[in-house]
Amino acid sequence: MKKRKIGMALSLVLAAGTLLGACGKSDDTSKEESKGGEKEKAFSVAMVTDVGGVDDKSFNQSAWEGLKKFGADNGLKKGKDGFDYVQSKSDADYSTNLNTLARQDFDLVFGIGFLMQGAVDEIAKQQKDHQFAIVDSEVDQPNVASILFKEQEASFLAGVAAAMTTKSNKIGFIGGVEGAVIERFEAGFVAGVKAAKPDAVVDIQYAGAFDKAELGQSISSKMYASGADVVFHAAGGTGVGLFKEANDLKKKDPSREIWAIGVDSDQANMGPDVVLTSALKRVDNAVIDISKKAKDGNFPGGEVALYGLAEDGVGLAPINDKVSNKADIDTAVNEWIEKIKSGAVKVPGTRDELKTFSAK
């Protein structure tokens, strides 16, 4: 009885090993080869997504679109010698994936998302000959470029739009998981609201997750029920629930004026009747920019590359045509854009900064 079990277990491994091995021998040579032929080789770039994958309708997708565009502009093909991505299935995979890409000799490897900070830091230390970049976090290594965004500037504009649209003077904010990035969204948004309409109130709620649409829906349901007519989310997949709730309410009562504001990419397609605008975070532009610099030999290793309105790293999507005072909003938003770009207004990026912020 016991022996049989041992035999079974043993054979499991043998089976897995021999069968897979029979399928082909690895081409170990690729590593040595590439080291020798570095100069002739075309520039190649790759990215590691977090568990969301490249169709997450959020920053992974945005980053991948940037890479694709960069590839097209420079005549690169998808694959090992051009541009590619690897998806992580769990937190533990970040290191393996970053390392794999470095081993495959990509010239530049992006880690998308602050969750990858530890992994990028570690792999960058080991693979000193390779260039890395991390989005949404800082890694202090000479061969790592840290990409940060001034999300507060985008959400400030969203806040302005929200304040000018609301009739009830009640506005909702749904955050994903509390953290520095989402705090920038929150602070900027509140500042924008206050700047445009000082007596409007913002109800701030956190879902505690980026992937719980049902939670997003129940929070937004409560917000709308308590009188809020514009709700902004900075909650990734959780925000899908916001659009669902807004669409549902709109369907039930088409005369009711409720709006939702998207984040990261233009989410207008999530509900043509309810999406007011979106606070854009142009991860794609940042990825293209860093890739270009790296290709041209100007890789900003060890530096923090900060992308704001001025760098075209953030922005606001077009205002929904169905909003009655669209023209006014556009004018106001453009005014604020100028003020921010010129440095006349510094948008607060934390709750502390928000306390001392005044729009004038």
Residue number with CB closer to another protein (21 or 142): 21
Residue number with CB closer to another protein (28 or 40): 28
Spatial contact of 112 and 50, defined as CB atoms under 8 Å apart: yes
Q: Closest approach of Cβ 13 to another protein, in Å?
A: 5
| 238 burial level (CB within 10 Å; 0-12, 13-18, 19+) | buried
Residue number with CB closer to another protein (119 or 309): 119
Q: Closest approach of Cβ 105 to another protein, in Å?
A: 12
Helices (H), 37-116: 59-73, 93-103
Rounded Cα–Cα distance for residues 22 and 7 (Å): 22
Q: Closest approach of Cβ 286 to another protein, in Å?
A: 21
Residue number with CB closer to another protein (54 or 268): 54
Residue number with CB closer to another protein (87 or 168): 87
Residues of the chain by 3-state class (helix, strand, coil), percent to 5: 45, 20, 35
Which residues in this chain contact another protein in the complex, by CB under 8 A? 1-17, 19-21, 23-28, 46, 53, 79-80, 84, 86-93, 95-97, 99-101, 103-104, 114-115, 117-118, 123, 126-127, 176-179, 208-211
Residue number with CB closer to another protein (74 or 104): 104
CA angle, 271 then 272 then 278, to 5°: 75
Strands 275-281 and 314-316: antiparallel
Q: Closest approach of Cβ 312 to another protein, in Å?
A: 28
Q: Closest approach of Cβ 186 to another protein, in Å?
A: 13
At a CB cut-off of 8 Å and minimum separation 6, what does 155 contact? 184, 185, 186, 188, 189, 192, 232, 234, 263, 279
Q: Which amino acid does the sequence have at 73?
A: D
Q: Which amino acid does the sequence have at 126?
A: Q
Q: Closest approach of Cβ 349 to another protein, in Å?
A: 15
